[in-house]
Amino acid sequence: MNPIAPRNVAARLATIAACVVLLAVLVAGWIVRSRFVESLYLEKVRAAESTLDLVAAGSVLPLIAEDGLTLNSLIKGVPLGERYLFVSVSDGGDVVRADTDLSRVGTPWKGTAKGGLELARPVLFREKPVGTVRLGLSPQRLRADAGRDSFPAAWILVAAILCAAAAGGIGFTVARMVVESAGFAPGIPGATTEEEGEDPGTARNPITVLFASVKGFRSYADASLPDDLMRNLKEIFSIASRNVIGYGGHVEKYQGESLTGVFGAPSDLADHTRRAVRAAVSIQKALQEAAEEGNELLRKVSIGISTGVVLSGQVPSGETSSPFYVGEIFEEAASLNRAAREGEIVISRDVYQSVQNLVGVEPLPPLGAGGGRGSWEAFRLLRIEERKHRA
């Protein structure tokens, strides 16, 4: 009997199996990416709804007072970009009172252009509608952004699976050839295989984001000497980063006059939201105390905190790796930060619901503007009940 024949048959079977595995991995990768895209698309729509609710809450008093200037200033504060087509506020008669397109002001609302996605919220005063806020989205742009954001995470996972499958197949083939050439039958003690190390891959993590920045920084920078500016800014970053790390988070990035802290990943902290809130309170307390030494920039720091689920992964950097995240809550934290005044902390509804037995808050805008507490999407943190044990 020809001893080569069984090896040829085994080689053919291995080739067929490898092709089947490759096809299965590609199909699985496409399915995973499609789900990532849909998930990110829905997250972007939810972020737009949060923006819409904030605008609706801020439009109550200006609509009642017929204050068109304030309404238009509120509209201009919404960052449109390419995904938001317009923001519009109309009164109870559906006449436009403020719009990113000034030509619509004073005319009846005519609807969104074909192909656009329109989100609408009623403006309520004492539980009665006094107007409507509308936000136009570009579904095509949202899906394009979701596809772009999901591409690295999904295909890094596919590449890792392919590499692991290829390495495993090569290792198994080489080991089998060595064993057979030595006269051992498969399964005889002494024949071993080497397992490949695990790739961390991509995960969905619940995290809390703390975004701190300096209010009026540009004006301050224009009026300050470069050395003084950098020294004062370093003091802010030092205090903020020390407290973020002290409460179990890590600094995700410094950008200009802002700092972004992440709690809950890569370390798995079930109480990451509480830790972020405590860290924010500790930061503001330390900044106010340090400001007594004469650095007035320390009093100008505002903080926004949001929480939610993000996609996370690792980016190789030399011999180490750094975490990266994909999710709308980073934009939400920045938006909440913009709503905060100097020395204040503003939290999202999800953050408040997670820590409501720990904090005292004020809805934004103030409760006097009407509406029930549950309708607010942002809250100004007033106080926290300090406890002796760590969060």
Mean pLDDT confidence for 211-219: 93
What percentage of the chain carries pLDDT values higher than 70? 75
> For position 79, which CATH number holds?
3.30.450.20
Same-domain check for residues 90 and 209: no
Confidence of residue 241 (pLDDT cuts 50, 70, 90): very high
Do the domain assignments include residue 187? Answer: no
Same-domain check for residues 227 and 374: yes
Last residue within a domain, chosen from 95, 115, 140: 140
DSSP assignments along 337-351, one per residue: HHHS-TT-EEEEHHH
Q: What pLDDT, on the 0 to 100 scale, is given for residue 183?
A: 47
Q: What pLDDT, on the 0 to 100 scale, is given for residue 186?
A: 45
Same-domain check for residues 134 and 209: no
Last residue within a domain, chosen from 85, 118, 140: 140
Same-domain check for residues 108 and 242: no
Higher pLDDT, 194 or 315: 315
Whether 283 and 243 have beta carbons less than 8 Å apart is answered as yes
Same-domain check for residues 126 and 208: no
Collect all residues with Cβ–Cβ distance below 8 Å to 83 and sequence separation of at least 6: 44, 48, 137, 138, 141, 142, 145
Collect all residues with Cβ–Cβ distance below 8 Å to 339 and sequence separation of at least 6: 54, 304, 346, 364, 378
Same-domain check for residues 136 and 231: no
- β-strand partners of 134: 88, 120
pLDDT at 8 over 80: no
Mean pLDDT, rounded, of the chain:
79
Same-domain check for residues 221 and 344: yes
> For position 328, which CATH number holds?
3.30.70.1230
Same-domain check for residues 210 and 131: no
Last residue within a domain, chosen from 140, 164, 185: 140
Do the domain assignments include residue 27? Answer: no
Tokens of 268: 């798995």
Do the domain assignments include residue 117? Answer: yes
Q: Each residue of 260-305: pLDDT tens digit? A: 999 998 777 889 999 999 999 999 999 999 999 888 899 999 999 9
Same-domain check for residues 306 and 226: yes
Do the domain assignments include residue 16? Answer: no
Q: What pLDDT, on the 0 to 100 scale, is given for residue 138?
A: 81
Do the domain assignments include residue 362? Answer: yes
Q: Give the single-character DSSP code of 386.
A: -
Confidence of residue 195 (pLDDT cuts 50, 70, 90): very low
Same-domain check for residues 260 and 344: yes
Dihedral angle over CA of 110, 114, 118, 122, nearest 10? 20
Q: Each residue of 201-211: pLDDT tens digit? A: 678 889 999 99
Same-domain check for residues 375 and 299: yes
Q: Each residue of 140-163: pLDDT tens digit? A: 777 777 777 666 655 566 666 666
Among left, alpha and beta (phi > 0; psi -120 to 50; other), residue 216 is left
Q: What pLDDT, on the 0 to 100 scale, is given for residue 10?
A: 61
Do the domain assignments include residue 13? Answer: no
Q: What pLDDT, on the 0 to 100 scale, is given for residue 201?
A: 64
Q: What pLDDT, on the 0 to 100 scale, is given for residue 150?
A: 63
Q: Each residue of 330-374: pLDDT tens digit? A: 999 999 999 999 999 999 999 999 998 899 999 987 433 444 433
Q: What pLDDT, on the 0 to 100 scale, is given for residue 114?
A: 67
Do the domain assignments include residue 148? Answer: no
Collect all residues with Cβ–Cβ distance below 8 Å to 343 and sequence separation of at least 6: 284, 287, 288, 299, 300, 301, 302
Same-domain check for residues 229 and 376: yes
pLDDT at 113 over 90: no
Q: What pLDDT, on the 0 to 100 scale, is given for residue 352?
A: 94
Q: What is the pTM of this model?
A: 0.47
Enclosing domain of residue 136: 58-140
How many independent structural domains does the chain possess? Answer: 2
What SS3 state is found at 124?
A: strand
Q: What pLDDT, on the 0 to 100 scale, is given for residue 180?
A: 52
User: In this structure, which long-range contacts are made by residues 18-27, counting pairs with CB atoms below 8 Å and at least 24 apart in sequence?
Assistant: 18/165, 18/169, 21/165, 21/169, 22/162, 22/165, 25/158, 25/161, 25/162, 25/165, 26/158
What SS3 state is found at 168?
A: helix
Mean pLDDT confidence for 308-335: 85
Do the domain assignments include residue 314? Answer: yes
